[in-house]
Amino acid sequence: AQSVSQHNHHVILSEAASLELGCNYSYGGTVNLFWYVQYPGQHLQLLLKYFSGDPLVKGIKGFEAEFIKSKFSFNLRKPSVQWSDTAEYFCASYGRAAGNKLTFGGGTRVLVKP
Protein backbone atom coordinates (compact mmCIF):
# COMPACT_ATOMS: atom_id res chain seq x y z
CA ALA A 1 0.00 0.00 0.00
CA GLN A 2 1.13 3.53 -0.70
CA SER A 3 1.65 6.10 2.00
CA VAL A 4 2.99 9.63 2.12
CA SER A 5 4.23 11.41 5.19
CA GLN A 6 5.01 15.07 5.66
CA HIS A 7 7.26 15.86 8.56
CA ASN A 8 5.99 19.24 9.60
CA HIS A 9 2.40 20.12 10.36
CA HIS A 10 3.04 23.82 10.84
CA VAL A 11 5.87 26.07 9.74
CA ILE A 12 6.20 29.74 10.62
CA LEU A 13 8.84 31.88 9.02
CA SER A 14 9.59 35.43 8.02
CA GLU A 15 9.65 36.86 4.53
CA ALA A 16 12.89 36.20 2.65
CA ALA A 17 13.62 33.09 4.73
CA SER A 18 14.24 29.82 2.96
CA LEU A 19 11.65 27.08 3.07
CA GLU A 20 12.07 23.33 2.95
CA LEU A 21 9.17 20.95 3.49
CA GLY A 22 9.85 17.28 3.89
CA CYS A 23 7.95 14.52 2.14
CA ASN A 24 8.58 10.78 2.21
CA TYR A 25 6.65 8.20 0.30
CA SER A 26 6.48 4.46 0.43
CA TYR A 27 5.83 2.54 -2.73
CA GLY A 28 7.89 -0.21 -4.28
CA GLY A 29 7.22 0.50 -7.92
CA THR A 30 7.38 3.40 -10.34
CA VAL A 31 5.90 6.48 -8.80
CA ASN A 32 4.84 9.93 -9.90
CA LEU A 33 5.16 12.62 -7.25
CA PHE A 34 3.39 15.92 -6.84
CA TRP A 35 3.26 18.95 -4.64
CA TYR A 36 0.00 20.83 -4.40
CA VAL A 37 -0.68 24.14 -2.69
CA GLN A 38 -3.95 25.35 -1.26
CA TYR A 39 -4.22 29.07 -0.62
CA PRO A 40 -6.90 30.10 1.86
CA GLY A 41 -10.34 29.56 0.36
CA GLN A 42 -9.01 28.25 -2.94
CA HIS A 43 -8.68 24.93 -4.71
CA LEU A 44 -5.71 22.61 -4.62
CA GLN A 45 -3.29 23.92 -7.21
CA LEU A 46 -0.45 21.92 -8.73
CA LEU A 47 2.96 23.37 -7.82
CA LEU A 48 5.19 20.83 -9.49
CA LYS A 49 5.45 17.21 -10.51
CA TYR A 50 8.03 14.51 -11.02
CA PHE A 51 7.63 11.63 -13.45
CA SER A 52 11.16 10.63 -14.43
CA GLY A 53 14.49 12.05 -15.55
CA ASP A 54 16.16 15.00 -13.81
CA PRO A 55 15.44 14.53 -10.10
CA LEU A 56 15.43 18.28 -9.53
CA VAL A 57 12.16 19.68 -10.76
CA LYS A 58 11.13 23.28 -10.93
CA GLY A 59 7.59 24.45 -10.50
CA ILE A 60 5.61 27.62 -10.41
CA LYS A 61 6.24 30.60 -8.12
CA GLY A 62 9.92 29.78 -7.60
CA PHE A 63 9.37 26.39 -5.96
CA GLU A 64 11.50 23.36 -6.66
CA ALA A 65 11.66 19.82 -5.38
CA GLU A 66 14.27 17.10 -5.39
CA PHE A 67 13.48 13.44 -5.84
CA ILE A 68 15.93 11.24 -3.95
CA LYS A 69 15.06 7.67 -4.76
CA SER A 70 17.36 6.14 -2.15
CA LYS A 71 15.64 8.12 0.58
CA PHE A 72 12.12 7.83 -0.85
CA SER A 73 11.94 11.59 -0.47
CA PHE A 74 10.58 14.48 -2.50
CA ASN A 75 11.27 17.61 -0.49
CA LEU A 76 9.93 20.99 -1.53
CA ARG A 77 12.11 24.08 -1.39
CA LYS A 78 11.95 27.79 -2.01
CA PRO A 79 15.02 29.95 -1.41
CA SER A 80 13.16 33.10 -0.36
CA VAL A 81 9.51 33.07 0.66
CA GLN A 82 6.99 35.86 0.39
CA TRP A 83 3.96 36.64 2.49
CA SER A 84 1.83 35.38 -0.41
CA ASP A 85 3.29 31.88 0.07
CA THR A 86 1.14 31.49 3.17
CA ALA A 87 -0.85 28.36 2.37
CA GLU A 88 -1.16 24.65 3.02
CA TYR A 89 1.17 22.40 1.05
CA PHE A 90 0.40 18.80 0.18
CA CYS A 91 2.72 16.13 -1.12
CA ALA A 92 1.07 13.34 -3.11
CA SER A 93 2.14 10.17 -4.85
CA TYR A 94 0.71 8.09 -7.65
CA GLY A 95 1.89 4.53 -7.99
CA ARG A 96 1.35 3.66 -11.62
CA ALA A 97 0.65 0.01 -10.95
CA ALA A 98 -1.64 0.67 -8.01
CA GLY A 99 -4.75 2.14 -9.57
CA ASN A 100 -4.99 5.80 -10.45
CA LYS A 101 -5.67 7.46 -7.14
CA LEU A 102 -3.41 10.01 -5.52
CA THR A 103 -2.21 9.30 -2.00
CA PHE A 104 -1.73 12.47 0.02
CA GLY A 105 0.42 13.42 2.93
CA GLY A 106 -1.13 15.18 5.89
CA GLY A 107 -0.27 18.65 4.64
CA THR A 108 1.93 21.39 6.06
CA ARG A 109 0.51 24.77 6.97
CA VAL A 110 3.00 27.50 6.19
CA LEU A 111 2.62 30.95 7.66
CA VAL A 112 4.92 33.64 6.32
CA LYS A 113 5.11 36.72 8.51
CA PRO A 114 5.54 40.02 6.66
Partner 1 sequence: EPEVTQTPSHQVTQMGQEVILRCVPISNHLYFYWYRQILGQKVEFLVSFYNNEISEKSEIFDDQFSVERPDGSNFTLKIRSTKLEDSAMYFCASSEDRAKNIQYFGAGTRLSVL
Site residues (CB under 8 A) for partner 1? 32, 34, 36, 41-46, 49, 51, 90, 92, 94, 96, 99-107
CB of 106: closest distance to partner 1 in angstroms?
5
CB-CB contact of 67 with 55 (8 Å)? yes
User: Which is closer to partner 1, CB of 5 or CB of 14?
Assistant: 5
Q: How far is CA 98 from CA 27, 28, 102, 103, in A?
A: 9, 10, 10, 11
Across the strands, what pairs with 91? 35
Closer to partner 1 by CB, 17 or 109: give it. 109
Amino acid letter for position 19: L
Q: In 2-101, at which residue ranges do the beta strands (DSSP E only) sit?
A: 3-6, 10-14, 19-21, 23-26, 31-38, 45-50, 56-58, 64-68, 73-78, 87-95
CB of 53 to partner 1, least distance (A): 13
17/38 with CB nearer partner 1: 38
Report in angstroms how near the CB of residue 100 gets to partner 1 at its nearest: 5
Shortest gap between Cβ of 4 and partner 1 (angstroms)? 8
Q: Which is nearer to partner 1, 79 or 99 (CB)?
A: 99
Instruction: Give residue 43's identity as a one-letter amino acid code.
Output: H
